Amino acid sequence: MMAGLFDPHLPTRVLFVGGGQDSVALLMLCQHDIGFRETFLGKSNFCALMTDTGIEYQETEEYVSWLKQWCPTVGIDFTFVTPDMGFHGATWQSLTDQMERNNNIMGVTFAKSCTDNLKIKVSYRFLAQWLRDHYGYRGNDPSVFYQYRHYFGKLVSWIGFAAGEESRVAHPGPKTPAEPDEYVLFQEGDTGPAYIPKWRKLCVEHRYPLLELGHDRAACQRIIAVYGYPIPYPSNCMFCPFQNEVEIVYLYRTHPDRWQQWVERKAAKLAKFAQSKVNHGVKGKLALPQYLKKALEKYGHWSVEQLREYRFSHGHCVVSKY
């Protein structure tokens, strides 16, 4: 069901938008491909949302602005969830806010708390209110999802992982005696477990249409282009610790102020935990300036356009799971 019409007697399908090529390809398929709609949407309502991390690249910000204009014209319920709307946590208004507040950073050896706090939790707080507004449910957030499940079964959300990203699909483990109401998800490189609330495990089902269809990143680009729309750059925040050498050089060359801010935040974190036995930075034991020096030795001769083209075709660096 599209065209912006909502039917309270039908279930809802939700698309989590990242602002990059994968999730945008799903938007285009949902809008233009009858076969896709019959298979994945059927007789359902549809909404899409993206959360504001506060530190996306300019290319992503510009594309999201375009989506905010385009979606209403074709009847797609799309919301860009910003901190002023009240769904971000008090201590997680943005990534930089969190880093400055607590003198911490995101790193390759740390738990991936930024995805959980700036995307997942914010999305479900927004969705709980969306369900109240559209279905008339009442109560706290978990109870709203239980009410939805009573009438329609699990809330189906689409995640835009392309073929080749199968490792990003989260596989929650069993409940532990210490956390009877939580499901534990361990990820390689985590310093500790992330928790999936019981209500989300019982009331939400993630589906990965691109994986089911076998569409890789190149296919997503073709899908967007064939319908005549601009192709976005892959999305990731400027301070993502998993950016590789080319991406680090791009950040340094195009946003030197952000690069300096990142270096300063890293230094503040190291100073805060100076007495700790283990005190890693963004890239583990290797300091950011050292990592940049190595990257410049390899790619410092590339032009900004070459770096940008690499970002466009390479895909994003994110390794978080859903």
For residue 320, is it within any domain? no
Domain final position from 192, 226, 260? 226
Contacts of 137 (CB under 8 A, 6+ apart): 131, 143, 144, 147, 148
Q: Are residues 199 and 306 in the same domain?
A: no
Domain count, the chain: 2
Is residue 297 domain-shared with residue 217, that is, in the same domain?
Answer: no
In a domain, 238, yes or no: no
Q: Residue 125's closest CA among 144, 138, 111?
A: 144
Domain assignment present for 70: yes
Which of 195, 226, 257 is the C-terminal boundary of a domain?
226
Q: Please check whether residue 35 lies inside any domain of the structure.
A: yes
CATH assignment at residue 48: 3.40.50
Residues 220 and 251 in one domain: no
Q: What integer pLDDT is reported at residue 166 of this predicted model? A: 79
5 in a structural domain: no
The secondary structure of 30-80 as a DSSP string is HHH-HHHIIIIISS-EEEEEEE--S-B-HHHHHHHHHHHHHHHHTT-EEEE
d(CA 96, CA 88): 13
| 249 and 222 together in one domain | no
Q: Show the DSSP H helices in the chain as ranges.
A: 21-32, 34-36, 58-73, 95-102, 113-115, 121-135, 141-152, 198-203, 209-213, 217-226, 245-254, 256-272, 288-299, 304-314
Q: Is residue 29 part of a domain?
A: yes
Is the domain of 192 the same as that of 250? no
User: What confidence score (pLDDT) does residue 76 get?
Assistant: 96
**What is the number of alpha carbons within 13 Å of residue 213 lying toward its C-beta?**
23
221 and 268 part of one domain = no
Same domain, 291 and 148: no
Residues 98 and 134 in one domain: yes
Question: Which of 226, 255, 280 is the last residue in one of the domains?
Answer: 226
Are 150 and 271 found together in one domain? no
Position with higher pLDDT, 30 vs 169: 30
Distances (CA, A) of 235 to 96, 125, 238, 240, 315: 17, 22, 9, 10, 8
Tens-place pLDDT, residues 252-296: 999 999 999 999 999 999 999 999 999 999 999 999 999 999 999
Would you say residue 56 lies in a domain?
yes
In this structure, the answer to whether residues 184 and 305 fall within a common structural domain is: no
The per-residue pLDDT for 112 is: 74
Q: Tell whether the model's pLDDT for residue 96 goes beyond 60.
A: yes
Both 151 and 206 in one domain: the answer is: yes
Is 1 part of a structural domain of the chain? no
What is the structure's pLDDT at 169? 81
Number of C-beta neighbours around residue 301 at 10 A: 9
Tens of pLDDT, residues 173-229? 444 444 344 433 333 333 344 568 999 999 999 999 999 999 999 999 999 999 999
The Cβ of residue 245 has, within 10 Å, a number of other Cβ atoms equal to 15
Domain limits for position 283: 245-314
* Same domain for 157 and 192: yes
